Structure 1
Amino acid sequence: MKFKIDKFILSIIIVVLAAYLFPQLGGNSSPLPLAKIGSIGVSLIFFFYGLKLSPEKIKTGLRNWRLHLLVQTCTFLLFPLIILCFYPLIHSEYDKNIWLAFLFLAALPSTVSSSVVMVSMAKGNIPAAIFNASISGLIGIVVTPLWLGLFLNDTAASYDLGEIYTKLIIEVVVPVILGLLLHRFWGSLAQKYNSYLTLFDKSIILLIIYKSFCSSFEDKVFSGIDTLNFVFIAVAVLGLFYVVYFITGFVSNKLGFSTEDKITAQFCGTKKSLVHGTVFAKILFPNPSTMGIIILPIMLFHAFQIFVISFIAAHAGNRKELEFNSITD
């Protein structure tokens, strides 16, 4: 099987390198209004997200409730609980910042597009994948800030849960609702030009990443992360993925799920959204210099999940095809 380098991951690497070489263009003293452009872009991302959501499909998807409950429990409960187990190991401010970055990763919703694509490759339950990936983003608007609020209220004077939800309502909830209301009029156009909208989403995410890393490099936030620490973070991210993947598979077997439902549970229940990660970090962590360290684990997780799940999906898809051929021969 041949692997291609994901273009978006390659773009992220280039953007981070550009931020390292030219931090003055996106730093705190930059004359470019990148923060304002990012805020407007975030609202448009979620407007298009709502525009593409089909209320009818969401209603239909509620039927397979055990599968949905498992996926959302893994996404918003299992992930954070695993990270909470390591809270007693924190002994310094540096440790707490890294731990908070992992808690932020753990509290994020599932990604939409890649989950559905991978489930399709593996011949899983596609309608259930669409439902879970879509509803996960809506749940995350409420749940992600709650998880972070439990540990940021005593460490960050600027963290005000009321203010956070006000920003989320203005920049995220209102655009999503507006998109849902206009779905019946423009939903088909959104689906038709989905590739262009996806390109727009990724462009805004790259802009936010560039802005965040420019400020982080300017303020030398990464000065405490040497090669050994970076490798440790990468290994921890990969380990977190595999622990949740195997637990989800084990529970799926115990619940007697079909192969298709098990694939959907494992693929959707282990994914984390880089889109939500970058836009939520922009709201939850108003200090731009700290955003770089906060979104580092989710960037690594995004790369790993695409690589690992694509390999598993291709293998599962080939196996299903072989089973089908053996039946029809």
Structure 2
Amino acid sequence: MRFLSKFYIDGFILSILAVIAVASIFPARGDAAVIVSWLTKIAIALLFFLYGARLAPNEAIEGLKHWRLHLVVLACTFVLFPVLGVAAHLLVPSVLTEDLYTGLLFLCLVPSTVQSSIAFTSIAKGNVAGAIVSATVSNLLGVFLTPALVILLMNTTGQARVDLSSILDIVLQLLVPFFLGQLIRPRLEDWLARYAEPTKLVDRGSILLVVYSAFSAGMVEGIWHAMSPWRILALLLVCCVLLALVLAATMAAGRAAGFNREDRIVVVFCGSKKSLATGLPMATVLFAGSPIGLIVLPLMLFHQVQLIVCAALAQRWARTAP
């Protein structure tokens, strides 16, 4: 890694690109896909357990109290993104087809990621407690807000409904491990203070598992072959521009709100990302009978772009942290 840093090549970014290459050649299918899915869930649960064990209870409580931070993140997720999504209709039909625009608007309506938002905040040495609360609240509210926004802004063939199983998944996979970590914290506090590598390893490992799982799913579904290469490149460019606009807006919002460095990192990472894990199941319900592959393609592309770009940002901010 030190050798690569001399040439300004980040080893973590290379790892993500390598995982994408492996998923393109050897995608997880059938039982292997099930195993990868479970490994990803276990890694995310372990990640939240370690966060719970590392965070002092008073820090967790302060994260809950920071309502201004959470409001800014929610505004970016459920106001800024939808506005940009509606404005993107100007790109139809010259750049985007109707199906691709439907997918682009849909990606603007889904909640923020949880695992990668918090992992990148941790890598960048931001306010992890604030990120945990913001990302979790975004996903809990997204169960209700995303279907409501879809009904308001889009025509769907399915029936938008609140999926209570999503709430149960969030509680079991994220909150339960976190509170278990809080309970066992006195036993692990000294060990974790001496050895920071376990959390760092789980941070990066869980992100790589998410990348492999998502890209494998795209390969198995064959959605990368459903369009011409130039149309995919055009969509990729649109996703890059969308992410650049949101990153600029979240950075400006953090400064305008007067947040410190740690809180500005939370706004950027929690406010700029969209959840593939939440978006895919919702799409199958809301767009039943429609070309799901094309509709979720913008979300899948955006997901890959956001991970690569935010990984680079997190590593850069980690190096410049005081």
User: Normalization by structure 2: what TM-score?
Assistant: 0.70
Matches within 5 A, 1:227-266: 227-248=229-250, 257=258, 261=259, 263-264=261-262, 266=264
Task: Specify the alignment match of 1:269 in structure 2.
Answer: 267
Partner Cα separation in structure 1 for residue 37 and residue 66 of structure 2:
41
Q: How far has the Cα of 1:166 moved from its partner? A: 2.1
Conserved 8 A contact 1:42-1:279:
no
Partner Cα separation in structure 2 for residue 286 and residue 47 of structure 1:
31
Residue 82 of structure 1 aligns with an amino acid whose one-letter code is V
Task: Specify the alignment match of 1:28 in structure 2.
Answer: 30
Conserved 8 A contact 2:120-2:314:
no
Partner Cα separation in structure 1 for residue 314 and residue 210 of structure 2:
26
Partner Cα separation in structure 2 for residue 35 and residue 312 of structure 1:
30
Task: Specify the alignment match of 1:80 in structure 2.
Answer: 81
Task: Specify the alignment match of 1:95 in structure 2.
Answer: 101
Select the residue among 201, 204, 209 that pairs with 1:202.
Answer: 204
Q: Alignment identity in percent?
A: 17
Q: How far has the Cα of 1:271 moved from its partner? A: 1.8
Matches within 5 A, 1:151-230: 154-155=156-157, 161-230=163-232
2:21 is the alignment partner of 1:17: yes
RMSD value, Cα: 4.3
Task: Specify the alignment match of 2:303 in structure 1.
Answer: 298
Partner Cα separation in structure 1 for residue 133 and residue 168 of structure 2:
21
Partner Cα separation in structure 1 for residue 297 and residue 191 of structure 2:
35
Q: Cα distance 1:57–1:272, how it changes in 2: closer, same or farther (>3 A)? A: closer
- Unaligned 5+ runs, structure 2: 286-291
User: Normalization by structure 1: what TM-score?
Assistant: 0.69
Conserved 8 A contact 1:241-1:270:
no
Partner Cα separation in structure 2 for residue 45 and residue 286 of structure 1:
28
Partner Cα separation in structure 1 for residue 230 and residue 183 of structure 2:
50
Q: How far has the Cα of 1:297 moved from its partner? A: 0.7
Conserved 8 A contact 1:274-1:302:
no
Conserved 8 A contact 1:274-1:298:
no
Partner Cα separation in structure 2 for residue 312 and residue 206 of structure 1:
20
Matches within 5 A, 1:4-83: 4-23=8-27, 26-28=28-30, 30=32, 33-60=35-62, 66=68, 68-69=69-70, 71-83=72-84
Q: How far has the Cα of 1:86 moved from its partner? A: 4.0
Residue 12 of structure 2 aligns with an amino acid whose one-letter code is F
Q: Cα distance 1:181–1:166, how it changes in 2: closer, same or farther (>3 A)? A: same
The secondary structure found in structure 2 opposite 1:5 is: coil
Q: Which moved more, 1:170-179 or 1:190-199?
A: 190-199
Conserved 8 A contact 1:50-1:178:
yes
Partner Cα separation in structure 1 for residue 16 and residue 26 of structure 2:
15
Q: Deviations over 1:44-80 (max 9, x none)?
A: 23222322332212334677765x2564344434443
Residue 299 of structure 1 aligns with an amino acid whose one-letter code is Q
Select the residue among 105, 112, 118 that pairs with 1:107.
Answer: 112
Partner Cα separation in structure 2 for residue 173 and residue 13 of structure 1:
31
Greater than 6 Å deviation, 4+ residue runs: 273-276, 309-314
Q: How far has the Cα of 1:18 moved from its partner? A: 1.4
Conserved 8 A contact 1:42-1:171:
yes
Q: How far has the Cα of 1:304 moved from its partner? A: 2.3
Q: How far has the Cα of 1:303 moved from its partner? A: 2.1
The secondary structure found in structure 2 opposite 1:112 is: helix
The secondary structure found in structure 1 opposite 2:117 is: coil
Partner Cα separation in structure 2 for residue 55 and residue 163 of structure 1:
28
Q: Cα distance 1:250–1:170, how it changes in 2: closer, same or farther (>3 A)? A: closer
Partner Cα separation in structure 1 for residue 314 and residue 139 of structure 2:
25
Partner Cα separation in structure 1 for residue 224 and residue 275 of structure 2:
19
Q: Cα distance 1:313–1:177, how it changes in 2: closer, same or farther (>3 A)? A: closer
Partner Cα separation in structure 2 for residue 144 and residue 230 of structure 1:
28
Task: Specify the alignment match of 1:327 in structure 2.
Answer: none
Partner Cα separation in structure 2 for residue 103 and residue 62 of structure 1:
24
Conserved 8 A contact 2:135-2:270:
no
Q: How far has the Cα of 1:22 moved from its partner? A: 2.0
The secondary structure found in structure 2 opposite 1:166 is: helix
Q: Which moved more, 1:236-245 or 1:218-227?
A: 236-245
Residue 309 of structure 2 aligns with an amino acid whose one-letter code is F
Aligned residues, how many?
A: 300
- Unaligned 5+ runs, structure 1: 121-125, 322-329
Residue 105 of structure 2 aligns with an amino acid whose one-letter code is W
Residue 145 of structure 1 aligns with an amino acid whose one-letter code is V
Conserved 8 A contact 2:54-2:185:
yes
Q: How far has the Cα of 1:157 moved from its partner? A: 6.8
Partner Cα separation in structure 1 for residue 195 and residue 222 of structure 2:
41
Q: Cα distance 1:101–1:70, how it changes in 2: closer, same or farther (>3 A)? A: closer
Task: Specify the alignment match of 1:144 in structure 2.
Answer: 142
Task: Specify the alignment match of 2:289 in structure 1.
Answer: none
Q: How far has the Cα of 1:137 moved from its partner? A: 3.0
Conserved 8 A contact 1:71-1:132:
no
Partner Cα separation in structure 1 for residue 11 and residue 57 of structure 2:
32
